[in-house]
Amino acid sequence: MKPIIRSLLDTDFYKFTMGQVVFHHYPSVNVRYAFKNRTKGIALSQFINEDDLRMELDRIRSLKFNTSEIRYLRGADIGARRMFSHEYLYFLENQLQLPPYELKYDGDNFTLEVEGDWAHAIYWEIPMLATINELYYRGWMKSQSKFRKGKWWANGIVRLAGKLDALGALPVSLVDFGTRRRFSLDWHDCVVETLSDELTDKQFRGTSNAWLAMKYGLKPMGTSAHEMFMILAGVLDDGTDESVRASYRESMRLWYRFYGYELSIALTDTYGSLYHLETMARDEAQDWKGVRQDSGDPVWFGEKIIETYKRHRIDHRDKMIIFSDGLELPRIVELFRRFNGRIRTSFGWGTNLTNDLGFAPLSLVIKPVMANGRGLVKLSDNPAKAVGNPEDIERYRRIFNYREQEYAECKY
């Protein structure tokens, strides 16, 4: 079988935008990441052989950036200036080494963790998730005949064609966000090539996958993820509530100093979007391009962000929402029609785009769980998805005035 991950560029582009900030400011912070299977009733070890998983992970650790890949990253720009510094690109090409992983099989499942300096460990998450997903489906397909394997692929083509037919008549703006939970690299490649061929540039704006963006001459898309807020909270936590609270805005300020307006899409839900919206100053609301919705009810969120812009006397029609939480075609159409003309919309389409061949998709995540000796927390706009130790979760709920009942009832 071909290796699953064949390039360190085969990852979400925001790993590089975040990675540069980390490299210049917090390279030596000790961070631990942990894998979690959130899919009920799926025993991964029955489909993923331990030796196969170790072989793929060891292959990833052996990968290095080549000259062409570094040249591609060097060409990324923000307006009239280069996006990545010479020092950061030198680090990627000559110094980056993914830390060792810790893999333990235990009955029907396994544990997988990585610990190391943040500047190196940050690049493990996406290729690790993509590898586990593809090995799972390879394991499932082993019992299938050649004919039935072809049938699944054909089924994916038919479903993709149906999506394209429905989208062709709408001026919807889409971005591929599907690397981490894709069916396979080959299928992901097929989807991105097809979208690039069949949709206009205004409809298909690009992909978050840097390797596929380079291959097809597309714009690599991505800004930041929850881990920036989570880990910075651990770094700046001096034991007081105020230090954790202050870390949130420090993450926002640091990001804007690096990338300015071009990459100013705020991810609002690390500790609940209500906190972000209620504490966002008018100049921040004015300066930032928009927000990304990644949990909870998207209609509630969209209405809430429009209310916030109105409160600050800012024309919400000039701002943007990127919806990116578990999107399927009917939801995309619904959200587009509701908000079209009221606020600019774009859709980061993930699992349902790159893993829709008829199989039930997995819900797998890798999250930072420890930084600088501190337990880390993610709350989100869905109370059921809280991540962290129970005592840490309760502390963060208090610090960020997390109103669980309000989120549970935020439905339109």
Checking if the pLDDT of 372 tops 80, the result is yes
The pLDDT mean for the chain works out to: 95
- Best CA proximity match to 301, nearest among 333, 262, 338: 338
Checking if the pLDDT of 409 tops 80, the result is no
Q: What is this structure's pTM?
A: 0.95
* % pLDDT > 70, the chain: 99
**First vs last C-alpha separation in the chain:** 47
Angle between helices 241-259 and 390-399 (to 10 degrees): 70
Check: CB of residue 111 under 8 Å from CB of residue 104.
yes
CATH number of the domain at 173, please.
3.20.140.10
Question: pLDDT tens for residues 64-75?
Answer: 999 999 999 999
Question: pLDDT tens for residues 205-214?
Answer: 999 999 999 9
**Residue 4 domain flag:** no
**Residue 7 domain flag:** no
**Residue 2 domain flag:** no
**Residue 1 domain flag:** no
Sole residue written with tokens 């009810």: 297
Pairing mode of beta strands 320-323, 344-349 = parallel
Query: For the chain, what is the domain count?
Result: 1
Checking if the pLDDT of 148 tops 90, the result is no
Task: Supply the range of the domain harboring residue 228.
Answer: 14-408
Question: pLDDT tens for residues 264-301?
Answer: 999 999 999 999 999 999 999 999 999 999 999 999 99
**Residue 6 domain flag:** no
Cα distances from 20 to residues 27, 254, 298, 388, in angstroms, run 9, 12, 30, 26
**Residue 68 domain flag:** yes
pLDDT at position 411 is: 60
pLDDT at position 142 is: 83
Burial of 246 (0-12, 13-18, 19+ CB in 10 A): middle
